[in-house]
Structure 1
Amino acid sequence: MSLLDNFIQVGKIGRPKGTKGLLRLHCFLNDNRDINKFQKFYLEDETTINVKLVSFDKKSPLVTINNITDRSQVEGYVNKYIYLQKEKLSPTEENEFYFHDLEGLEVVDQQNEIVGKVASVVNFGAGDLLEIYFIKSSKKEFFRFTETNFPKVDIKEKRITIKS
């Protein structure tokens, strides 16, 4: 089983905070507090873990894993990605997409010619960016994911239209 088939990446475990087993979590969910809505998460090797939001350090959520309260025991989780089963996530609203739904889409121009592919979707804090691999130039470029830049997204057809 491939994690990409049935699971979605929802966070990356950061470095420990203090001595009581707390870890920072780089959460990819819209609301960090949603962490506590889920019973179990998975690591890449499909190990099941329990993640519980305890508090915040500035804006970073602080979590415990499997109720471990010792810093040395949680250090092995640092830099690991956590996943949820896709079926556990809420359906998206109209014009709302999960990153994994956009990655790999064919990019077409307004004349419906294939010009590239969505290589990745990232958010560095100032909004979502699509990294587009352009076939002609063999180069990748980032574009803000806005309705102006991408007027049509068709998940079923696996296509996204880029404004010329």
Structure 2
Amino acid sequence: MTQDKVLLGRIGGAHGLRGEVKIATFTAAPEDITAYGPLSSADGTRTFVITGMRAASAGSVIARLKGVADRTQAEALNGIELYVPREALPPPEDEDEFYHSDLIGLAAVSPEGAVVGKVIGVHNFGAGDLLEVRFGDERQPVLIPFDNAHVPHVDLGAGRVTVIRPAFESAEADGADGESHE
């Protein structure tokens, strides 16, 4: 189950006075954000072409965008997410590699094969990828480490991913969080 666009970056604040912007990149190498052609906004109404770029802090670049000439124009772009069409990307090189957009929307199933929820997001806060899963009618989604212990099988063709809830999370959901409720 793939989506038609893949998020490659997010424009941050303006950098300097001549219209440059800082872009947080979600590509393996930050400079690869230019490797797949023009970028577009989430709704597809705006197109962005990077005409110049240099490395910034880890996972980001300072970029000059075509048509953006001053700080005011650059500041107006803060927060815009940058996408490319899914078909512009090569297939993952390894069978255990996945694009986040390929995982979002998959059915989450138990090791026995019963549908228990749905993958609604993929996040990485610095310690590895996490699948955000909404289980059944539970109000709060659960973050599941995207590792072999918690996600032993991904079947994109069948539109499903096997998930094992972390033991500490299951104990909290059962009310056994160790806190006194007197």
TM-score greater than 0.5 by the shorter chain: yes
Give SS of 1:139's match: coil
Question: What residue ranges of structure 1 are gaps of 5+ in the alignment?
Answer: none
Cα deviation for residue 52 of structure 1 reads 4.1
Map of 2:179 onto structure 1: none
User: Does the aligned pair in 2 maintain the 1:35–1:53 contact within 8 Å?
Assistant: no
After superposition, the C-alpha distances for 1:15-58 in whole angstroms (9 at most, x for unaligned) are 01111211111111111111232331111342222024522233
Match of 2:147 in 1: 146
Pair 106,15 (structure 1): closer, same or farther in 2 beyond 3 Å: same
- Does the aligned pair in 2 maintain the 1:103–1:119 contact within 8 Å? yes
Residue number among 18, 21, 27 corresponding to 1:20 in the alignment = 18
Please identify which structure carries the higher strand content.
1
2:48 counterpart letter in structure 1: I
| Maintained 8 Å contact 1:21/1:70 | yes
Paired residues of 1:33 and 1:53 also in contact (CA < 8 A): no
The 2-side partners of 1:147 and 1:5 are apart by: 24
Percent pairwise identity: 30
Letter of the structure 2 residue corresponding to residue 90 of structure 1: P
Structure 2 counterparts to residues 45-84 of structure 1, below 5 A: 45-46=43-44, 47-52=46-51, 54-59=53-58, 60-66=60-66, 68-84=68-84
TM-score (normalised: structure 1): 0.89
Secondary structure of 1:73 counterpart: helix
C-alpha offsets along residues 77-120 of structure 1, whole Å, 9 cap, x if unaligned? Answer: 11111110111111112111011111111111111111111111
Distance 1:159 1:35 in 2: 29
How far off is 1:14 after superposition? 0.3
Residue 5 of structure 1, CA deviation: 4.7
* Structure 2 counterpart of 1:94: 95
Once residues 3 and 144 of structure 2 are traced to their aligned partners in structure 1, the CA distance between those partners, rounded to angstroms, is 26
* Cα offset, 1:136, TM superposition: 5.1
Q: 1:19 to 1:125 in 2, by over 3 A?
A: same
TM-score for both structures, normalised by structure 2: 0.81
Larger Rg: 2
Q: Which residue of 1 aligns with 2:35?
A: 37
- Shift of residue 155, structure 1, vs aligned partner: 0.5
Coordinate RMSD, CA, aligned = 1.8
Instruction: Report SS of the residue matched to 1:100.
Output: helix
What residue ranges of structure 2 are gaps of 5+ in the alignment?
Answer: 166-182
For 2:120 and 2:21, the matched residues in 1 are separated by 30
Distance, in Å, in 1 between the alignment partners of 2:96 and 2:143 is 20
